[in-house]
Amino acid sequence: MEVIIYPTKEQANQAAADFVASAVVRNPRIVLGLATGGTPLGLYENLIEKYKKGEVSFAKASSFNLDEYYGLPADDKNSYAYYMRENLFDKIDIELENTHIPNGMAENPKIACEEYERAIKASGGVELQILGIGSDGHIGFNEPTSSLSSRTRMKTLTRETIEDNARFFDGNPEAVPTHCLTMGIGTIMESETVVLLAYGKSKADAVAGMIEGPITSMIPASILQMHRDVKVFLDEEAASKLKLADYYKWVYSRKPHPDW
């Protein structure tokens, strides 16, 4: 893992956006894996700015989102389908028909998840996967003790995730759906490159476990230690429990070339 620590999340978001935009410029037909939640909003804002300035186009790109709440239709303002249109898709030139999000209203979620896996494969696979991390160490909605080789499937959210996400539901945990459809950890691990963002002190324990702890399904993100190409963008607060923070900064400051 390459651990990149910036003093602020604004700086980390800019650096992450530079990285993502240059990947899209190099490969306009890129297949992106996209995340929701509070964390990627700043990255998306930066990408929208770059699109508006004519620095990047998503016209030929396609995307697969990590997850969706089960039981929320795409026009519900708390669905991730709505979130993606609101925070990214409607503000760039990506073709909506090239974007994919698990269907939270699927009559048969099992079949819908299998179809999602097939669609990812048919696209050639996710080339650049954006990830956040839950305060409980989840990636996508793969909660602690998820199989580290899982595929897209229905999952039940933990109480911690429901409490964390209640802020999007007027602070009411009872309003948060208890189930979701999420790419599996095995699915995520097949992406070519991962960009994981984590900001704020509420993520510090999960980040330390992911980077420096043992690989364990208790912190699903720790499996990323086995992924060949992961960049982790952090602010100081999220990095505050890393034992080797100074080392990561030293390594990054001495990079001979940004691409190497």
Q: Of the two residues 109 and 220, which places its CB atom closer to ligand PGA in the complex?
A: 220
Q: Of 10-18, 36-44, 76-84, 237-245, which segment contacts ligand PGA by CB under 6 A?
A: 36-44
**Residue 60 or 82 having the CB closest to ligand PGA:** 82
Among 42, 132, 209, 220, binds ligand PGA (CB under 6 A): 132
Residue of 10, 18, 22, 37 interacting with ligand PGA (CB under 6 A): 37
From candidates 12, 20, 34, 39, binder to ligand PGA by CB under 6 A:
39
Q: Of residues 4, 43, 72, 133, which one binds ligand PGA by CB under 6 A?
A: 133
Q: How far apart are CA 247 and CA 253, in angstroms?
A: 10
Instruction: Tell the burial category of 37 from Cβ atoms under 10 Å away from its Cβ (0-12, 13-18, 19+).
Output: middle
Render the burial of 197-211: b for 16+ CB within 10 Å, e for the rest: bbbbeebbbbbbbbb
* x-marked contacts with ligand PGA along 136-175 as a string, rule CB under 6 A: --x-------------------------------------
184 part of the interface to ligand PGA, by CB under 6 A: no
* Contact pick of 38, 71, 124, 173 for ligand PGA (by CB under 6 A): 38
Please report, in angstroms and rounded to a whole number, the separation of the first and last CA atoms in the chain: 13
- Could you give phi then psi for residue 184, rounded to 5 degrees? -85, 175
Q: Is 138 a catalytic residue?
A: yes
Of the ranges 99-107, 130-138, 169-177, 237-245, which one interacts with ligand PGA (CB under 6 A)? 130-138
- The answer to whether residue 28 forms part of the interface with ligand PGA (CB under 6 A) is no
Strand intervals (E) in the chain:
2-6, 31-34, 62-65, 67-69, 99-100, 128-131, 153-156, 179-182, 193-198, 230-235
Q: Identify which range of 2-10, 89-97, 128-136, 204-212 contacts ligand PGA by CB under 6 A.
A: 128-136
Where b means 16+ CB within 10 Å and e means fewer, 56-93 reads bebeebbbbbbbbbbebeeebeebbbbbbbebbbebbe
Residue 177 engages ligand PGA in binding (rule: CB under 6 A) = no
Catalytic positions, written as ranges: 67, 136, 138, 143
